[in-house]
Amino acid sequence: MDEIQVSFGTYIFQPTPAKIRVESARAATAYSLPDSTQQLIIAGKKPTRVELAGELFAEDAAGAREQYAALNRLYQEGQAAVLCVPGQEPFYALFTALTLTAAGDGRVLDYTAEFTEGGEKA
């Protein structure tokens, strides 16, 4: 993949997420033809979806929680921002889902962040 900092607005994902999944899709519509066959037509582009999965870690559990809190604040804001990921031109997206998995002593927190293209600023 390209060497690019993964970011959403002013937030930079450090370290770079271990998993970056980009889903591009098209909407398709089936039309019935007079001879009883069907023709599939591309009806348009669906919004690009991005899933990032990684770890937040610190010397102690409080430090890891602070890092997660910063990411969670960004999610809670619900604002569109420019998303930069390898292999894609930067685009406006909405932060649509955030999950956290904590285990052990709390110094390492696993997260998954999901983004959906759209919400361009006027």
Q: Parallel, antiparallel, or unpaired for β 19-23 and 91-102?
A: unpaired
- What are the tens digits of pLDDT across the range 48-80? 999 999 999 999 999 999 999 999 999 999 999
The number of folded domains in the chain is 1
Regarding pTM above 0.75, the answer is yes
The answer to whether residue 111 is domain-embedded is yes
Residue whose pair of structure tokens reads 């285990």 in the numeric block = 103
| Cα 117 from Cα 110, distance rounded (Å) | 24
The answer to whether residue 19 is domain-embedded is yes
The answer to whether residue 90 is domain-embedded is yes
CATH code, 106: 2.40.30.200
Residue 11 pLDDT > 70? yes
pLDDT band for position 3 (50/70/90)? low
The answer to whether residue 28 is domain-embedded is yes
**CB neighbours of 33 closer than 8 A, spacing ≥ 6?**
39
Range of the domain at 94: 7-117
Two tokens, residue 55: 């770890």
Beta bridge partners of 99: 112
